[in-house]
Structure 1
Amino acid sequence: MSLAYPPLSSRLDGLQSSAIRDLLKLTARGDIISLAGGLPDPRLMPLDRIAAATEAALSERARLQYTESAGWGPLLEVLAGRESARLGRPVPVEEVFVTHGSQQALSLLAEVLLDPGALVVVEDPAYVGALQVFRAAGARIVAVPLDAEGMRVDVLSDLLARGERPALVHTVSNFHNPRGVTMSAQRRAGLAELAARHNFWVIEDDPYGELWFDRPVPDPVATYSRNVIRLSSASKILAPALRAGWMVAPAAVCRGVELLKQGADLCGSALTQQITADLLADTEWLAAHVNTVRSSYGERAKALVTELRTRFGDRIVSTDAAGGMFVWADFTDGTDTAALLPRAVEHGVAFVPGAAFAVSTDYRHSMRLCFTTDEPETLAEAVDRLHRAIG
């Protein structure tokens, strides 16, 4: 009897596991200080408040039933209120859709908006989860570089002038993953104007926008155009295990996503959506909680950046980390970060080489560092270990 299995779909051709997820397995040892993850600090997750919301959600058996594919009604109403305030315009419930984390929203949107071979413009370096989704959809991917003000909208404009017609443009507008930068207000308006003039979609991926340290971020790109689909999540401000993400999009897009979601998982978890609604609706408590998270992360970000600049001097140029979860650093002395990583692990510290996020530039001399899960003194030790690894 043959042991050969039937073939798998050709959609898997060329797809690779996330280098970051693979790296997390490597660095799971307790003796390694890992700056490689992109994880919120579990010590800052509101365990007692989540427990109280869970108890309330379990007050009757009917709360354990299936819910609507678009999301639990009261959560949709809470999100519509929050997004209305964020966008400065009324957002009807019909334009809000709850997903199993914002990554599922991205995946479903790729199926709704893209035909095989469609052009997708991403930022370079790029969010790895977006690259995986768009490659799986069979898209043709073109990268636009970033600088300190976010996406180079002028480069995108030149691309359009040369006759390229993207189906969509993806941006992580606030505290970019991995680059750490935030798109300026002027560029947000410019991107929205291009989307309206050339009739393409923009997916504004915003999981970090509430994690600012010094001042709030500019108005969303979605403020300027209805061609913009906005994604967000409770993972970074509450807890990833709630798996509560959402999108704000025209009703027709939401209905297309609903059809696909019904075939994928029918509906999300009514239980965790009830818990999330309880927490997000408690605005006074939520504001205090998010302020605590901002304060802790801001202190850690400052500590990491200060240590990098003190220990490495002009050998490294790094972002200032005004919010979010990441610092991006470039070696100016030719250090190859992919080659450095094994030596760093031997010295008890890990990071993500820039090559993991590369599209059209190799980022051989770059690395992404996450500061969220360690106290300042541990981050100082991590930088010391990294310095010793370089020698």
Structure 2
Amino acid sequence: MSVDSSSLGPSLRLSSRMAGVRSSAIRDLLTFTARPEVISLAGGLPAVELVPRGRIAQAARRALGDPHSVQYGETSGWAPLRETVASRESEAVGRRVAPAEVVVTHGSQQALSLLAQVLLDPGDTVVVEEPGYTGALQVFRAAQAAVVPVALDANGMDTAVLEQALREGLRPKVVHTVSNFHNPRGVVLSAQRREHLASLADRYGFWIIEDDPYGELWFDAPPPAPVATHSDRVLRLSSGSKTVAPALRIGWLHGDRRVCEAVELLKQGADLCGSSLTQRIATELLDDRTWLDSHLAAIRGAYSARSHALVGALESVFGERISHTPVFGGMFCWIEFADGCDATSLLARAIEHDVAYVPGGAFGVADAHSHAARLCFATYGGEVLVEGVNRLRQAYDAHIRTPWSVTGH
């Protein structure tokens, strides 16, 4: 869905930037998947039973003991939380990150939106991955940027293709990458390509936005060192939504102090400040390393088992009718129908069979990815995932026998 301001009449005309903004197909699906009988493999929803509600309640009680926890706070975030994030990110990137180089945001999506406003003028070029993260595509289109895709393969963004385009005159202001357990493809940017991408940023002078909400959700081995390890032209984003609780709405960015100061300035006009209460809760949880390590280990174990259940069911039920990317972490599995089945038209049949997914076209920039789909394995246990795949196969069989159009029978 996109917004057409011309249809609203002369009394209400929206800004020109709204012309390129489309609603997220994932959010649109929520209308259909809200029914309890639907097994939704669509949304990237963490498992609610793994959210540490008891531990959050303890931290909330302690936070509420201080009256300042219900007061306005600093725009850049509660100072102890910025110190905690700076310490964690220093360990991740292998160099000291100062608290002044950290801004706490209302989820990492707000960080991405504010960075786009700080860095981009209309018409500036942004390089994204193909297929790309829908939230990033929305942000960059709203900023009226020229979005240029670079294809992914099993090792992440093909930086050799990017380098060739740069040699031929491409001059991006920003390159965006979901480096770990990519959304939607699930791939990991290789160590060699991380170094290569960083060297290209240094040589050609663009900013890298390293979007990393999934990096701690590895199964067998952690991913390579962040891109930010290799260049100071990297602005790194992360979040507590996938590891602690989405409802806390705690995200952050760190990078060049001048960029952080500009982000803070715009944030004053966006929301003035975040939640003092949830930032204090998050600080206690992120500071409790013993508890956090145990909690992350439990999430990794559960998600690993669920990914095996989903992939095993796909291979058993569909066989060679689909291919899928290997799953090493994160929350998603990307599949492609070998027979050319259109995933968008199949979705209507799938919803009739009480199962849902996100068609690949939702993530496309130059490629429609019409035969692909993204499945989330994090939300449900193994038995439900197997049933979801069985329903998908039933929908697929019905669709092949009597294909639907996108709009109906």
**Common fold: TM-score over 0.5:** yes
SS at match of 1:170: strand
Give the equivalent residue in structure 2 for 1:135: 141
Assess if the C-alpha contact under 8 Å between 2:306 and 2:382 holds in 1.
yes
1:121 to 119, 127, 133: 127
- Cα shift at 1:62: 2.4
1:203-222 aligned within 5 A: 203-222=209-228
Q: Distance in 2 between matches of 1:299 and 1:306?
A: 10
- Supply the AA of the counterpart residue of 2:340: G
Distance in 2 (CA, whole Å) between partners of 1:143 and 1:60 is 48
The aligned residue for residue 17 of structure 1 is 23
Counterpart of 1:306 in structure 2 is: 312
1:275 corresponding residue in structure 2:
281
Shift of residue 14 of structure 1? 2.7
1:288 to 290, 294, 317: 294
Q: Which residue of structure 2 aligns with residue 79 of structure 1?
A: 85
In the aligned structure 1, how far is the partner of 2:358 from the partner of 2:296? 27
Q: 1:89 aligns with which of 86, 90, 95?
A: 95
Classify the secondary structure of the residue corresponding to 2:375.
Answer: strand
Please name the residue that 1:165 is paired with: 171
Q: Is the 8 A contact 2:68 2:276 kept in 1?
A: no
How far apart are the structure 1 equivalents of 2:92 and 2:20? 39
TM-score by length of 2: 0.94
Q: Distance in 1 between matches of 2:192 and 2:20?
A: 37
Post-superposition Cα deviations, 1:242-278, rounded to whole Å, max 9, x if no partner, equal: 1100001111000000110001111111111000000
Instruction: Give yes or no for the alignment of 1:259 onto 2:251.
Output: no
Higher alpha-carbon deviation: 103-112 or 339-348: 339-348
Which one of 362, 367, 370 corresponds to residue 361 of structure 1? Answer: 367
- Which 10-residue stretch deviates more, 209-218 or 56-65? 56-65
Secondary structure of 1:187 counterpart: helix
3-state SS of 1:38 partner: coil
Q: Does 2:333 match 1:324?
A: no
SS at match of 1:390: helix
For the residues of structure 2 that align with 1:366 and 1:7, how far apart are their CA atoms?
36
2:20 aligns to what SS in structure 1? coil
Give the counterpart letter for 1:51 in structure 2.
A
Q: 1:4 deviation in Å?
A: 6.0
In structure 2, C-alpha distance between the alignment counterparts of 1:10 and 1:242, rounded to whole Å = 33
Which residue is equivalent to 2:188?
A: 182
Deviation at 1:60, TM superposition (A): 2.4
Aligned-residue identity in percent: 59
Structure 1 runs not aligned, ≥5 long: none
1:50 corresponds in structure 2 to 56
TM-score (norm 1): 0.98
Please list, as runs of the form range in 1=range in 2, the aligned pairs for 1:194-233 lying within 5 A after superposition.
194-233=200-239
| Matching of residue 376 in structure 1 with residue 379 in structure 2 | no
Deviations along 1:61-94, one digit per CA (max 9) or x if unpaired, are 1222211111100001111110011111111111
5+ residue gaps in structure 2? 1-8, 398-409
Distance of 1:179 and 1:4 partners within structure 2:
43
Q: Give the partner amino acid of 1:175.
A: F
For 2:113 and 2:364, the matched residues in 1 are separated by: 20
In the alignment, the residues of structure 1 paired with residue 89 and residue 99 of structure 2 have an alpha-carbon distance, to the nearest angstrom, of 10
Across the aligned residues of Structure 1 and Structure 2, the Cα RMSD in angstroms comes to: 0.9
SS in 1 for 2:128: strand
Separation in 2, partners of 1:355, 1:60: 48
Deviation string for 1:304-333 (max 9, x for gaps)? Answer: 011111111111110121100000001111
What letter is aligned with 1:211?
Answer: L
* Counterpart in the other structure of 1:62: 68
Q: Distance in 2 between matches of 1:194 and 1:62?
A: 45
Q: Tell me the SS of whatever aligns to 1:226.
A: coil
Tell me the distance in 2 between the aligned counterparts of 1:222 and 1:14: 31
**Which residue of 216, 231, 241 corresponds with 1:235?**
241
Partner of 1:347: 353
Q: Which residue of 2 aligns with 1:5?
A: 11
> Helix, strand or coil: the match of 2:253?
strand
